[in-house]
Amino acid sequence: MNVMNDSPRRKELTRQAAQLFVQEGFDRTTVRMLAEEMGIKSGSLFHHFRDKQEILAAVIEEGTRNALAIAHAALEACDRDPEARLQAMARAHLETLLTDRNAHVVALYEWRRLDDDARAHLGHLRDAYEALWETVIDEALAAGLIQGDRFLVSRFVMGALNWTVRWYDPEGERSPEELGRELVAMLMVPRV
């Protein structure tokens, strides 16, 4: 009947679904709309995905995995000092908006439409990403680079970061590199 592999075809369909989910919202996006966007008939859709929920889960999983991979890579490629690591994380985050913006918008706005299983599974992925941020923030706090309560700083940064999805245009004037620097500079205690 259907499969759950990660064929290239399925990946492409997932990308198209993300686009529609952003435009219309998950609930308003019908399987018929999805099928038309994909150039197939609505029945054929269920050859690739068990049900509509699985498409949502696939979209979010794809986006989060990429963000996690890019963040890891950025951390390994950069200097050891806390400031460079903070900047690397910020730059990586903004870079994923270039390729996976739709997926991140969906993850942000349609999270609660996931069923319990998917939410648990993807929750671990997201926790891993946030844990990465918290490590880097902790290092910066320990080095006296930024100030404030650990818990609070973390929430504050995650909020500002997630919000970037609403206004940042990665193809606009400011490059991810540049904006990442500015974000970190804003947080930091200035040198005296």
Residues that bind a copy of itself (CB under 8 A): 25, 27-28, 109, 112-113, 147-149, 152-153, 155-164, 166-167, 179, 182-183, 185-186, 189-190, 192
- Residue whose CB is less far from DNA, 3 or 69: 3
Binding letters toward DNA, positions 33-72, x by CB under 7 A: --x---xxxxxx-xxx--xxx-------------------
Kindly identify the residues of this chain, within the stretch 1-20, that bind DNA according to CB under 7 A.
1, 3, 7, 9
Quick check: 113 binds DNA (CB under 7 A)? no
Q: Which of 136, 161, 131 is nearest to 146 (CA)?
A: 136
Residues that bind DNA (CB under 7 A): 1, 3, 7, 9, 27, 29-32, 35, 39-44, 46-48, 51-53
